[in-house]
Amino acid sequence: MSESDQLFGERLRTLRIERGLSQAALAERSGLSTNAVGSLERGVRSPRVASAEALARALDVPIQALFNEPRTFAQPPAPAYVADPPEGTRGELERLLAGQPERVVRLVLDVTRRLVSEFSAAN
C-alpha cells in the first residue's frame, strides 16, 4: 500500500461522501464492483486509469480531483499592515477582516456603506 494509493483512497472517499453516495451506489454509477471501490478507498489497490476515469465521471469531477489534495480554506496570515490594529470597534473590524478573501471584504464594505447610508438618512 503506497502513500499515493492511500491519498487517492482518501480523496475518493471524501468525494463520495460529499455527494451522499454509498460505495454500492458509486460502484453502480462507475461500473466498478463494490469490492473494487472499497479496496481503492482503503488504499490497498492502485487505481488504473480506466477506473479513475470511470470514478471521476460517476462523481462528476475532473479526474485530477481524485489525485490532488483538496484545497484548504484556512485563513492566510494577516497582512503586515494590520499587525497592530487600533483598539475598539474599528480594530475589531480590522481583525475580523484580516486574511479574509477579497470578495468577503468587498461584501462587508458594500453592506457597511448601505447601513451607514440608511442610518444617515434616518437621522
- Examine residue 12 and state whether it is found in any structural domain, yes or no: yes
Statement to judge: residues 7 and 62 lie in one domain: yes
Which residue, of 38, 66, 94, is where some domain finishes? 66
Statement to judge: residues 45 and 22 lie in one domain: yes
The pLDDT value recorded for residue 84 is 54
More confident residue, 117 or 28: 28
Q: Which domain holds residue 114?
A: 80-122
Crossing angle (nearest 10°) for helices 102-122 and 88-97: 150
Question: Cα dist. 52→6, 11, 12, 13, 18 in Å?
Answer: 14, 12, 9, 13, 17
More confident residue, 91 or 29: 29
**What is the CA angle 98-102-108, rounded to 5?**
75
- Examine residue 71 and state whether it is found in any structural domain, yes or no: no
Question: What total number of domains does the chain contain?
Answer: 2
Q: Which three cell numbers stand for residue 9?
A: 483512497
What pLDDT, in 10s, does the model give residues 54-106? 999 999 998 888 887 655 444 455 554 444 555 677 777 777 777 778 887 77
Per-position DSSP letters for 57-89, written without gaps between them: HHHTS-GGGGTSPPPP-PPPPPPGGGSSPPSHH
CB 114, CB 107: distance < 8 Å = no
CA distance linking residue 26 with residue 39, whole number of Å? 13
Is 90 exceeded by the pLDDT of residue 33?
A: yes
Statement to judge: residues 8 and 61 lie in one domain: yes
